[in-house]
Amino acid sequence: MKLNGAEILVETLIAHGVTDVFGFPGGTVINLYDALYDYQDRVTHYLTCHEQGAAHAADGYARATGKTGVVIATSGPGATNLVTGIATAYLDSTPMVAITGNVASGLIGKDSFQEVDIVGITMPVTKHNYMVKHVEELEEIVREAFQIARSGRPGPVLIDIPKDVQQAQCEFHGGMPKPLLPIPRVSEEALRAAAELIDASERPFVYAGGGLISCSAGEALRVFAERIDAPVGLSIMGLTALDSSHPLKHGLTGMHGHYVASKMNADADLIIGIGVRFSDRATGSTSKYQAKTKIIHIDIDGAEIDKNIDSVISLVGDAAEILPRLTEMVKRRENPTWIAKADLHRQESERFLAQEEMQLHDQDPQAKEEQQLLAQEDMDAQATGLTPQEIIHMVRRYAADDTVVSTDVGQHQMWVAQEYQFCLPRTLLTSGGLGTMGFGMGAAIGASIARGSARTVLFTGDGSFHMNMNEFVTAVTYGLPVVVVLFNNGSLGMVRQWQNLFFNQRYSNTTLERKTDYPKLAEAFGGKGYRASTMKELQAALDAAFSQTEPVLIECLIDSDEKVFPIIPPGGSFDDMIVK
């Protein structure tokens, strides 16, 4: 059967189980869009407002399901608009296939209209990328792209297709998708060595991350941690690997990790890192991080081993395969003294916070009076104001366990990571690696579509929301029940917090003197909008939001001086943690 390049592409997408794609048309993909018109009963194309939003939507679609997300853009500005989205997927290892049109082969290299070297531009932020020179190689390239995107450590792959290649005809073969590339099996000896080290350790600590989500090894992690009675800390990418109610789960570790998780991490004599890259945000100073502990590193990507930290033993492979085997080999044990340490740290942290209040009472009378005044103001604020933590807890009560939550980047992201009680894998979508403000809106849309127009919740800040708020329109267009919970602190809060703590309160360009009326904006875009400055108002807004199927925005007014604590200053260690 002879087909043109555009048709071959769509047929091959269908052969790979693709039912939804995100994108934005233009001159060099007009042939592809023409083919999509023919196939619209089998592939739904979601038109976003901006290619970046489409890329984040494809990314969110992939994160919520594990399937490969697909995004399409035209050449030139369409392609460059994808770059942040591709880099976001790359840094968080999300499987994605990005398809761009390019000018016709004869025009390439001539600075033609809307010509950019997108293959060159995206080389450092893709697992692999292609420029298709001949229509005959297209089908094979697409099959290979899907294979690469999901094999081993997942990631984005870009295929750039000149316009004439989309038009040219050739024989379509219609082969099956390629199997994922094999992952080498870890040897018995290596596993045994790891098991011995674990058995010999007194204070083992499991530090797990996004790798566990990619290979669906959350359950294997639970069984393993229970077997050796080891506390578990998670990177933001791995936060949903274990149910928050699990007694061994101590939640987020790293720069804004929980006090107890950080302390246990620091006290450990053995850290078992699984599906993590020991990024700087997770370790702080690497020399201090590894000074008093041994490290076993388990990861699917061999290049992660000894890249950021030195491990004593490394196991390169699929955690879903390694963990059950390791669990069999290690001794079952209970470790009450070690586990009790966590309780000690918990009391310690409570004492710290209480001490802070005590100190106020010891000050000189005038300062004391001032403090009391401030405290009174605080109380007044509490009567009307909202704290980020309260908002998150309240939203959690409305959301179902399987509701997908996405975030943007900043303080609100960290509060969600610290406070929201996640139960199921793939329910938190957040830009952990690149830290992309504007990620959340697209991701919430992609996740909603991936889960059959399910309700999703976006937690965002006033800064981040302004970056990609245009995609609220996309949620309206497709009738997706996305609930946007916007923390309005009138500032770029996270940067302001750093300026407060480390730059003598010199608030350079972080105060947002904007006049945006968020509820009105939501209404103008065709959704519903509410403003909440008290718990009562928030509840009323959430009642409304969770009982309707259109997109809703809830603006929550919070104090601009709310901070994310604990914080480990950049380059510091767990000992440098600032608690309050």
Three-state DSSP class for residue 529: strand
| Given 96, 146, 163, 394, the catalytic residue | 163
Nearest to 385 by CA among 572, 534, 238: 534
Greatest CA separation for the chain: 90
Buried b (16+ CB within 10 A) or exposed e, 97-123: bbbbbbbbbebbeeebebbbebbebbe
Told to check if 233 binds ligand TPP by CB under 6 A, we report no
Nearer to other proteins, 308 or 406 (CB): 308
Query: Should residue 495 be labelled a site residue for ligand TPP when binding is judged by CB under 6 A?
Result: yes
What's the one-letter identity of residue 30? I
Q: Are 528 and 548 in contact (CB under 8 A)?
A: yes
β-partners of residue 208 are 234, 274
Q: Rule CB under 6 A: choose which of 298, 437, 443, 444 binds ligand TPP.
A: 437
Q: Is the dihedral of CA 557, 559, 564, 565 positive or negative?
A: negative
Of ligand TPP, other proteins, none, which one sits near residue 287, judging by CB under 5 to 8 A according to partner kind? Answer: other proteins
Least distance from ligand TPP to the Cβ atom of residue 443, Å: 14
Q: Which stretch binds ligand TPP (CB under 6 A): 119-127, 296-304, 391-399, 483-491?
A: 483-491
Q: Does 109 bind other proteins (CB under 8 A)?
A: no
Of ligand TPP, other proteins, none, which one sits near residue 306, judging by CB under 5 to 8 A according to partner kind? other proteins
Residue closer to other proteins, measured from CB, 2 or 110: 110
462 binds ligand TPP (CB under 6 A): yes
Q: Which stretch binds other proteins (CB under 8 A): 235-243, 305-313, 386-394, 474-482?
A: 305-313
Sheet holding 232-234, edge to edge: 249-252, 232-234, 204-208, 270-274, 294-299, 313-316
- Looking at 93, 293, 349, 411, which residue binds ligand TPP (CB under 6 A)? 411
Query: Of the listed 67, 114, 137, 548, which one is catalytic?
Result: 114
Kindly tell me which residue out of 123, 367, 524, 578 binds other proteins, with binding defined by CB under 8 A.
123
Q: How far apart are CA 539 and CA 560, in angstroms?
A: 22
Q: Find the shortest distance in angstroms from Cβ 212 to ligand TPP.
A: 25
Q: How far apart are CA 297 and CA 281, in angstroms?
A: 17
| Binders of other proteins in range 401-420 (CB under 8 A) | none
Sign of the Cα pseudo-torsion (340, 341, 344, 349, in order): negative
CA distance 133 to 126: 19
d(CA 251, CA 262): 10
The verdict on 492 binding ligand TPP (CB under 6 A) reads: yes
Of 465, 468, 460, which Cα lies nearest the Cα of 392? 460
Site string for other proteins, 22-61 (x = CB under 8 A): ----------------------------------------
Tell which one of 136, 219, 229, 301 touches other proteins (CB under 8 A): 301
**In this complex, which beta carbon is closest to other proteins, that of residue 275 or of residue 461?**
275
| CB nearer other proteins, residue 129 or residue 460 | 129
Span 442-461, contacts to ligand TPP by CB under 6 A: 461
133 binding partner (options ligand TPP, other proteins, none; Cβ < 5 to 8 Å by kind): other proteins
Number of C-alpha atoms within 13 angstroms, CB side, residue 263?
Answer: 18
The reply to whether 290 belongs to the active site is no
> Within 251-280, which residues bind other proteins (CB under 8 A)?
none
Determine if 211 is a binding residue for ligand TPP (CB under 6 A).
no
Q: Concatenated DSSP letters for 213-237? A: HHTT-HHHHHHHHHHHT--EEE-GG
Minimum CB distance to other proteins smaller for 94 or for 403: 94
Q: To which H or E segment does residue 406 belong?
A: strand 404-407
Counting other chains too, the contacts that 322-325 makes at CB distance below 8 Å and 24 or more residues apart are 322/186, 322/191, 322/298, 323/217, 323/220, 323/221, 323/223, 323/224, 323/274, 323/298, 324/220, 324/223, 324/224, 325/186, 325/191
Active-site annotation holds for 494: yes
Among 19-27, 106-114, 124-132, 571-579, which window interacts with other proteins (CB under 8 A)? 124-132
Specify the pairing of strand 204-208 against strand 232-234: parallel
Residue 53 or 410: the one with the smaller Cβ distance to ligand TPP is 410
Give 38's contacts (C-beta < 8 A, 6+ positions apart). Answer: 7, 10
Piece of 129-137, 187-195, 329-337, 501-509 that binds other proteins (CB under 8 A): 129-137
Proportion of the chain in helix, strand, coil states, percent, rounded to 5: 45, 15, 35
Question: Given candidates 67, 178, 246, 307, which one binds other proteins under the rule CB under 8 A?
Answer: 307
Query: Is 377 among the residues that bind other proteins (CB under 8 A)?
Result: no
Q: Which stretch binds ligand TPP (CB under 6 A): 167-175, 200-208, 436-444, 568-576?
A: 436-444
Residue 317 to residue 191: CA distance in whole angstroms: 11
Kindly list the distances between the CA atom of residue 348 and the CA atoms of 127, 219, 251, 255, 352, in Å, as whole numbers in the listed order.
45, 31, 17, 19, 6
**Smallest separation, CB 180 to other proteins (Å):** 14
- Cα separation, 215 vs 298, in Å, equals 13
Nearer to ligand TPP, 85 or 251 (CB): 85
Q: DSSP label at 106?
A: G
Q: Indicate which residue of 96, 469, 494, 577 is catalytic.
A: 494
By a kind-dependent CB cut-off of 5 to 8 A, residue 488 interacts, out of ligand TPP, other proteins, none, with none
**CA dihedral over 125, 127, 128, 129, signed as positive or negative:** negative
Binding ligand TPP (rule: CB under 6 A), the pick from 412, 426, 455, 531 is 412
Mind telling me the catalytic residues?
51, 113-114, 163, 494
Which residues contact ligand TPP (rule: CB under 6 A)? 408-412, 435-438, 461-464, 487, 489, 491-495
Which residues contact other proteins (rule: CB under 8 A)? 119-120, 123-124, 127-129, 131, 133, 148, 287, 291, 301-303, 305-307
